[in-house]
Structure 1
Amino acid sequence: MSLTTLTRAGKHRVLGLFASITLVLLCGALAPTAQVLGQSATTTVASAAKPAFKEEFAVMRDGKKLAANVFLPEGAGPWPVVLSRTPYLKDNARTPGGASQKYTAAGFAYVVQDVRGKGHSEGEYLPFVDDRNDGYDTVEWAAKQSWSNGKIGMTGASALGITANLAASAAPPSLVAAYVVVAPYSRFEEVTFMGGVVKEADTVNWMKGQGAAEQVPPLLKRVVWDKRWEETEFHTHLDRVKIPMYNVGGWYDIFNIGNIKNFTYLQNHGAKGARGNQKLSMGPFGHGALSGDLAYPNGGDLRSPSSNQADQEMRWFDYWLKGIDNGIMQEPAVRYYRMAPARKNNLSAKNQFKTAPNWPVEHRDTRYYLQPGFALATEKPKARNASQTYRFDPAKPVTTFGGANLTFDRGPMDQREVGQREDYLRFVTPVLTDDVAITGAVTAELWVTTDGPDTDFMAKLVDVYPDGYEALVVDAPIRLRYRNGRMRDRDVKMMKSGKAEKVTIDLWATSLLFEKGHRIALHVTSSNNPRYEVNDNSGTPPGDPPRPRVAVNTVYFDKKHPSALILPITAP
């Protein structure tokens, strides 16, 4: 059946399948196949299609044995080692031209390990719960092998990046450096929830795909910070990281802000060995191929030679694991892609990579205030009373079109697809007479009310093209009961009907040139599904059966309630 004949929900399901395949490819593995336990650790496997490797077992501190494939360069060792730890099954990552050949050809031993409870490894699979200790034990195991010179680097994207981060936060003495692609700072705030709202399609679908469906209901109840989050998060142990780390992220990636936060902390506040030795590269890509009518040239794909990222990884490990002074540490610490108009039939020459000595880059936070008539302007609102009210029915949510998604269409899709709805507000500037460049954190401050105990507000930054195309840049939600945070139970407060309160929505970060002739827009609504779960507006506890009600929501934009979009303006 062609996609054109599918319903919208059907498209999401098919695209979710494509996205899942894309994610596994990104992480260095093909689609999982059936595994047979008990393969000999001394068996060497080789064929014309597959490079030789040995399966070996590392014993963890609790006695569990984790299986790893070991690929060695030609000639006499020992060698420095590049290690990946994967939940996507190690035996699907050994094709010619893949990760193993890339590293062995460069003179590194390459080790890819099934995480606990996956593939040939023993134990129970609990996503990212045991990976700090298991990562430490595996690094030290690899350092002691006859084929290892004791210098270990870790590499990985997405889930493999998370396992690398967690291992680094355990500070194993033999871990020298890491190269981490698209991995979060906080699973609590970036992976499972955003603004207290469940990332429904991505979180739930990923865990089900990993055979962890039974773990979803209890996880989704843990919206408020607890000891278990503290014990298993990366950012709560960042002060223990003592190594150089190269972070690679994408502006449309599901972990957009994670790589930035990890770099910023370690580069400026990290422990000895980490501070001053970090690198950050941000590109115009997502967690898989972008959807829509925009395609960014010269680096819009990590695998593109023009993106230079594969070369950067080899230079990184050459410098830190082999001691080759190739100049990489004399280059600017930050490399980022500033996006510009990128319609597939009309690419702007202003799409380009830029560099900076640190993050955030030099900028000026500028407020664009919501105005009567759905306008957006840098002048403060003068109206004494101005607002817009709409009814939000959870049975009729706004459909997701693009954004930082994993399991379905992603990227700068056209928000005109949303259509004209009472519960979807578009505030827009006049046509720009000059280019406006932004790089950094984007925030929305909204003064709002609702007639019930709880509801959601969603904000989207949009680049409006001269022909009307509404390219999504970044978006994020806030659940009003969590407007004061969710680090403690007492942070959670229901709304008082009709009382206006200011809420802050963190839209993460981006780098974009709004070109002359375009317009800047802020879209405001109360749902974006299936990207985020739909609020039933009743204030029911997380995990309880919903009791849906229609909410009457209001956004204010007058002198007393100056709602605004805050943009990090930089030199054009």
Structure 2
Amino acid sequence: MKKKLIRIPGVLLGIFLFLSSSIYAQTVQTDSVYIAANYDKKEYMIPMRDGIKLFTAVYTPKAKDVPYPFLMQRTPYSCAPYGEANYSTRIGPSMDLVRDGYIFVRQDVRGRYMSEGAFTWTAPNKDSPKEWDESADTYDTIDWLIKNVKNNNGKVGTFGGSYPGFYVTVGMMDAHPALKAAMPSAPMGDLWRGDDGVHNGAFMMPHNINFISSFGIKRPMPLQKYPAGKLKYDTPDGYQFWLDHGPLTNLNPKHFKGEIIHWEEYLQHPVYDEFWKSRNVEPHLKNIKPAVMSVGGWFDAQDIKGPFIVYNGIKENSPKTSNRLIIGPWYHGSWFTAPGDRSANIPWGSNTGEYYRKELEFKFFGFYLKGRGNMDLPAVMAFNTGANQWKSLDKWPPDVTNHQRFYLMANGKLSTEDVSQTGEPFDEYISDPKKPVPYTSEITTRFGNDWMVEDQRFVATRPDVIVYQSEILQEDMTVSGPIKVNLTVSTSGTDADFVVKVIDVYPNDAKDPDPNPQKIKMGGYQMLLRGDPIRAKFRNSLEKPEPMVPGEPTAINYQLTDVFHTFKKGHRIMVQIQSTWFPMIDLNPGKFMDLFNDVKAEDFKKTTQRIYHSNQQKSSVTFDVYKN
């Protein structure tokens, strides 16, 4: 299927891009001038317990009227610009905090950019305090800062999003006594259980490969700039590029040549073995001393599960820790800078990002690092999409009144009633790996964010996408927590992917956006709320895959990531099921085999999939219903 390029009229697009770039450039310039005028910059090579030295940039307020706490970010993405005369345009999580006055610390982690040592991918924590790990590097850095940077008040906070969020998380394990507050944002919690790497056994292809093609390049010595990545696109159309590229086994001969460290790790560990388990942060979240505020977005395409992994891990293993969770209607990292008034075509009715920075983040660090005000923030602040309002909760997931199951029925119906059915006991479709279902209508090689709420009408009419839709809702229904999927399926092969998407269908008379340069039609809009694949061979275990028996009805049970959403009165609930989601996840050849190491182009075959909805073999999705 050839996708359509969404076009914005040239004049409107030019005006929009000009205004956006001008406002952004002006903001960055203003921030840069303020930082240079109000902060002094020093650079240090800070020694660790094993003798390795880490490059660290320290921005200290010029005003010396009071001692200041530290706010520190440890990152694998570079502390550039280098040189004490060269100032970064962004030194803290927000300019509100920069203007409030902190000692800001930015550090290249071990083995990256200007720091010494060897880099280890999401390095696991060691049992011995004498051994190196990222927790030890955080401890040693804090200890050095407290003793060597003048005019500090002896308190440290840490922050960072995505991979830096991982360093915040591991840094609060066995923490230095001076570490009082930690804010992991969209942290990488477990790469094989829903974050960047793998979702229910399915490989998140373009995101991973774009990432590791440059990130995994070997570094012979400290450097200020890494060489360009090994993957080169010869077209802006990522769908066509990956279709022409072929299976994952082509990456080394075509691009990587065995030189990309992290790709070699995937090849050596194609299942959830001890290598990946040791990099799961959750079981290590014991005896956490600093106050923690985990932050994430409902529409984060990269690390949507990380905040829940960290929050729940602390709740389970460190129940006495001050432990908070903030989840807004954001894409990956947008809470740091964006207004947060919308996600693509879906407005939220307020500037949620600005509210977070001024009312939540600012208060959290101000209380724990400066002793200012009261810590009256709830345990959980979650934005209810659909209702478009913040809700204070005492835990996540919240208590619910009941569980509402929707059964997949004949003739494309989605019903809360488990009624007797006649006729064909299943829906059937052919999945063709030569014509996979696209995950977005955008022509792109990047793994963006807008697809997380994209109108699914662009695939709903395909014969390899099965659609089930409810009647019009007669009252609002608010759902919270994970969505449970219980399918009975079969395939003509020995393996298959099943992608389940839960969709909020707008009324036919829904109003279009205003302004509306893209000419979006909201009447009947099929807003993707949640979607996730499962690779059938991993249906019972991520460690020990099992083949499907061709043609045999088989139960597949899994969960879609948490939501907090109100399906409004007059809307409908839709479920779409398909077996490809390309190129977001790699293609399944329909055969039980190692897709990282063994698959070849000739292995890919059409397969016939069935979704059962008979009186004996049922399929359903279940929501936890929340009442205020």
Q: Contact 2:5 / 2:441 at 8 angstroms: preserved in 1? A: no
Aligned residues: 517
For residues 237-294 of structure 1, the C-alpha deviation after alignment (integer angstroms, 9 at most, x for no partner) is: 112433211011110013223212322332x3233652xx111111111116776422
Q: 1:322 aligns with which of 370, 377, 387?
A: 370
How do residues 20-99 of structure 1 correspond to structure 2 at under 5 angstroms? 51-73=39-61, 74-75=63-64, 78-92=67-81, 94-95=87-88, 98-99=91-92
| Cα distance, 1:55–1:402 mapped onto 2, change above 3 Å | farther
| Cα distance, 1:86–1:500 mapped onto 2, change above 3 Å | same
| Cα distance, 1:152–1:451 mapped onto 2, change above 3 Å | same
Q: Contact 1:85 / 1:115 at 8 angstroms: preserved in 2? A: yes
Q: 1:278 aligns with which of 315, 319, 323?
A: 323
1:186 aligns with 190
1:442 aligns with 483
How do residues 104-115 of structure 1 correspond to structure 2 at under 5 angstroms? 105-115=99-109
Secondary structure at the counterpart of residue 285 of structure 1: coil
For residues 286-306 of structure 1, the C-alpha deviation after alignment (integer angstroms, 9 at most, x for no partner) is: 116776422222144x2xx2x
Cα deviation for residue 76 of structure 1 reads: 5.5
1:226 aligns with 273
| Cα distance, 1:46–1:336 mapped onto 2, change above 3 Å | closer
Q: How far, CA to CA, are the matches of 2:137 and 2:144 in structure 1?
A: 10
1:282 maps to amino acid = I
Q: Contact 1:196 / 1:223 at 8 angstroms: preserved in 2? A: no
1:515 aligns with 568
Cα deviation for residue 430 of structure 1 reads: 0.8
Q: How far, CA to CA, are the matches of 1:252 and 1:95 in structure 2?
A: 28
Cα deviation for residue 541 of structure 1 reads: 0.9
Q: How far, CA to CA, are the matches of 1:87 and 1:284 in structure 2?
A: 26
1:359 aligns with 396
Q: How far, CA to CA, are the matches of 1:226 and 1:236 in structure 2?
A: 15
Secondary structure at the counterpart of residue 439 of structure 1: strand
Q: Judge which range, 410-419 or 376-385, deviates more.
A: 376-385
2:620 aligns with 564
Question: 5+ residue gaps in structure 1?
Answer: 8-17, 31-44, 341-349
Q: Contact 1:476 / 1:505 at 8 angstroms: preserved in 2? A: no
Q: Contact 1:401 / 1:414 at 8 angstroms: preserved in 2? A: no
Q: How far, CA to CA, are the matches of 1:311 and 1:474 in structure 2?
A: 28
| Cα distance, 1:235–1:95 mapped onto 2, change above 3 Å | same
Q: Judge which range, 212-221 or 163-172, deviates more.
A: 212-221
Q: Contact 1:465 / 1:519 at 8 angstroms: preserved in 2? A: yes
1:264 aligns with 312
Q: How far, CA to CA, are the matches of 1:569 and 1:299 in structure 2?
A: 27
Question: 5+ residue gaps in structure 2?
Answer: 8-16, 124-132, 218-255, 335-341, 508-522
Secondary structure at the counterpart of residue 155 of structure 1: strand
Q: How far, CA to CA, are the matches of 1:521 and 1:263 in structure 2?
A: 30
For residues 497-539 of structure 1, the C-alpha deviation after alignment (integer angstroms, 9 at most, x for no partner) is: 1221111232101111111111001110001112211111112
Cα deviation for residue 161 of structure 1 reads: 1.0
Cα deviation for residue 485 of structure 1 reads: 1.7
Q: How far, CA to CA, are the matches of 2:213 and 2:344 in structure 1?
A: 27
| Cα distance, 1:408–1:358 mapped onto 2, change above 3 Å | closer
For residues 389-417 of structure 1, the C-alpha deviation after alignment (integer angstroms, 9 at most, x for no partner) is: 111111211101289x9546433110011
| Cα distance, 1:272–1:250 mapped onto 2, change above 3 Å | closer
2:162 aligns with 158
For residues 542-561 of structure 1, the C-alpha deviation after alignment (integer angstroms, 9 at most, x for no partner) is: 31233211111111012211
Cα deviation for residue 566 of structure 1 reads: 0.9
Q: Judge which range, 81-90 or 95-104, deviates more.
A: 95-104
How do residues 390-539 of structure 1 correspond to structure 2 at under 5 angstroms? 390-401=429-440, 406-407=447-448, 409-466=450-507, 467-486=523-542, 488=543, 491-539=544-592
CA RMSD of aligned residues (A): 3.0
Cα deviation for residue 54 of structure 1 reads: 0.2
| Cα distance, 1:238–1:402 mapped onto 2, change above 3 Å | farther
Secondary structure at the counterpart of residue 90 of structure 1: coil
How do residues 281-296 of structure 1 correspond to structure 2 at under 5 angstroms? 281-287=326-332, 292-296=344-348
1:157 maps to amino acid = G
| Cα distance, 1:127–1:78 mapped onto 2, change above 3 Å | farther
Q: Contact 1:103 / 1:110 at 8 angstroms: preserved in 2? A: no
Q: Contact 1:371 / 1:381 at 8 angstroms: preserved in 2? A: no
Q: TM-score, normalised by structure 1?
A: 0.83
Q: TM-score, normalised by structure 2?
A: 0.76
1:123 aligns with 117
1:463 maps to amino acid = D
Q: 1:138 aligns with which of 134, 137, 141?
A: 141
Q: How far, CA to CA, are the matches of 2:36 and 2:290 in structure 1?
A: 38
Secondary structure at the counterpart of residue 192 of structure 2: helix
For residues 149-186 of structure 1, the C-alpha deviation after alignment (integer angstroms, 9 at most, x for no partner) is: 43221111112111111111243333222012222332
Q: Contact 1:428 / 1:521 at 8 angstroms: preserved in 2? A: yes
